[in-house]
């Protein structure tokens, strides 16, 4: 075993004793495991021509879970010792009570590899990373004299997990991640506007540090900032809207994706609860969650329960055909787990979460979608948003949008927000572009206080009659 391998049941915990404690904790339970994790991460931030922060963090620990029906007992510790494991087992055992459950079958094994297991932090010396941040700052300021502030962040991490099941099997995964983000502020005649770009994935840091990559990101961030510099106040009202490809899929992720997670539907709190097999979107709309895409930010070889990730169809030709499931909700709903049991770290119990959620493309020319707008909005980039899972209502702010009249772009607009509900928006999709794209790798999703990396994607699409909030008089 190399020094970089994470084998806690060989180095920190006695494998036989750990298994005995797990079996005692899950006797009469429906499911359970020990989830052990080691994570190392490094991040650097340059802002206003100075290195504002540089950090390196390492952590490890375990969580022990026992599940009986709808009840979960979970205990975790940063101390990888048998004493800590015994205490965790006794605590988790409380959820099982008198028992009576039948232990679920273990996850299916997989030999698939979706990404490298090399440590991305070791991909370049620390000094080279610092030099890169300064070089990006210089590059942007040289591109345009209106640049007044540049912010650049570079991050890399390596997560190693090992799962011990009551059957005595172990499952492992090593997950790299790297990401570069660039933000720029420009000023002209006393007005300031911003633009940003970024991306990465489950790969070495060399890719995001490559000149061709960061220069394209920097130019894109500057382009968006300059567009916003000449933007007019957005109108308010009901408009036909053309959404751009790729990152605008974040609206799909938030407004629709969370509503298709198994726990919300089992509990009846989702706007899609009870609609399996029914038409919930316009014909031609197909939505998937796919954790098997190589090197993508939301991809996982196995989920955090050990189930192999999968290409799960959620909506097919407008019909609801599937939910995303972890093991507990799948068992309670009488269906198969889909490889969507995810957790932020060893300190958290798993729950159904998205991986890479996207909509398949159609056959329309994206230019024709915009040309077909009589009076509408072309929304290309999105920022933050809010969604109510129970009814799917959303509010999303646009970071880049344009007013279109009689098929021609009139001007960029600022302050535009898209308002609606996911279930209704799906039925108002009139056309799908042939330019389906995934985002560049910058999504992080929050649920119940847990944050995990995700991916989104979609083609250009035309939605009829969407409410737009704006600031125009």
- Paired strand residues for 61: 37
**Helix axis angle, 211-229 relative to 126-143, nearest 10°?**
40
The predicted model scores a pTM of 0.96
Let me know: does 300 contact 310? Beta carbons within 8 Å.
Answer: no
383: three-class secondary structure by DSSP = strand
Q: What are the boundaries of each domain within the chain? A: 8-229, 233-469
Q: What does the alpha-carbon distance between residue 329 and residue 336 come to, in Å, rounded to a whole number?
A: 9
Let me know: does 383 contact 397? Beta carbons within 8 Å.
Answer: yes
Phi, psi dihedrals of residue 272, rounded to the nearest 5°: -100, 5
pLDDT in tens, the chain (473 residues): 445 789 999 999 999 999 999 999 999 999 999 999 999 999 999 999 999 999 999 999 999 999 999 999 999 999 999 999 999 999 999 999 999 999 999 999 999 999 999 999 999 999 999 999 999 999 999 999 999 999 999 999 999 999 999 999 999 999 999 999 999 999 999 999 999 999 999 999 999 999 999 999 999 999 999 999 999 999 999 999 999 999 999 988 988 899 999 999 999 999 899 999 999 999 999 999 999 999 999 999 999 999 999 999 999 999 999 999 999 999 999 999 999 999 999 999 999 999 999 999 999 999 999 999 999 999 999 987 778 877 888 899 999 999 999 999 999 999 999 999 988 999 999 999 999 999 999 999 999 999 999 999 999 999 999 999 987 75
Q: Which CATH architecture has domain 8-229?
A: 2-Layer Sandwich (3.30)
Under DSSP, the state recorded for 209 is H
Q: How many CA atoms lie within 13 A of 13 on its CB side?
A: 31
Kindly list the distances between the CA atom of residue 128 and the CA atoms of 121, 209, 219, in Å, as whole numbers in the listed order. 12, 10, 21
């Amino acid at each position: 075993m190399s020094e970089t391998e994470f084998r806690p049941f060989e180095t920190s915990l006695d494998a036989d004793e750990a298994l005995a404690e797990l079996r005692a904790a899950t006797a009469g339970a429906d499911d359970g495991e020990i989830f052990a994790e080691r994570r190392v991460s490094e991040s650097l931030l340059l802002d206003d021509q100075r290195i504002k922060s540089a950090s390196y963090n390492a952590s490890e620990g375990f969580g022990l879970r026992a599940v009986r029906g709808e009840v979960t007992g979970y205990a975790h510790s940063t101390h990888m010792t048998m004493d800590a494991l015994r205490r965790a087992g006794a605590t988790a055992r409380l959820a099982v009570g008198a028992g009576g459950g039948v232990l679920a079958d273990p996850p299916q094994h997989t030999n698939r590899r979706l990404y490298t297991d090399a440590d991305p932090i070791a991909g370049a010396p620390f000094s080279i990373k610092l030099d890169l941040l300064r070089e990006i700052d210089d590059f942007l300021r040289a591109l345009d004299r209106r640049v007044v502030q540049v912010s650049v962040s570079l991050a890399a991490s390596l997560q190693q997990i090992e799962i011990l099941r009551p059957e005595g099997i172990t499952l492992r995964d090593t997950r790299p991640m790297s990401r570069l983000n660039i933000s720029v502020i420009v000023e002209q005649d006393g007005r300031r506007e911003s633009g940003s770009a970024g991306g990465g994935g489950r790969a070495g840091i060399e890719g995001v540090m490559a000149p061709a990559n960061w220069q394209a990101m920097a130019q894109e961030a500057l382009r968006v900032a300059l567009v916003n510099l000449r933007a007019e106040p957005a109108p308010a009202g009901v408009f036909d809207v053309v959404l751009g490809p790729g990152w605008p899929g974040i609206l799909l992720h938030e407004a629709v994706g969370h509503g298709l997670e198994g726990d919300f539907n089992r509990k009846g709190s989702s706007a899609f609860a009870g609609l399996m097999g029914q038409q919930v979107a316009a014909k031609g709309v197909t939505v998937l969650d796919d954790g098997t895409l190589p090197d993508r930010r939301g991809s996982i070889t196995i989920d955090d329960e050990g189930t192999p990730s999968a290409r799960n169809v959620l909506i097919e030709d407008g019909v609801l055909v599937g939910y995303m499931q972890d093991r507990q909700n799948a068992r309670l709903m009488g269906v198969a787990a889909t490889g969507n049991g995810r957790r932020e770290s060893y300190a958290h119990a798993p729950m159904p979460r998205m991986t890479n959620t996207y909509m398949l493309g159609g056959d329309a020319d994206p230019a024709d979608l915009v040309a077909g707008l009589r009076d509408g909005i072309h929304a290309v980039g999105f920022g933050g948003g809010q969604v109510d899972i129970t009814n799917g209502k959303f509010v999303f702010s646009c970071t880049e949008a344009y007013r279109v009249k009689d098929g021609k772009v009139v001007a960029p607009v600022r302050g535009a927000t898209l308002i609606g509900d996911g279930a209704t928006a799906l039925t108002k999709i009139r056309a799908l572009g042939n330019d389906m794209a995934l985002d560049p790798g910058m999504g992080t999703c929050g649920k119940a206080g847990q944050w995990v990396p995700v991916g989104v994607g979609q083609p250009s699409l035309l939605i009829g009659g969407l409410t737009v909030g704006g600031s125009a008089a």
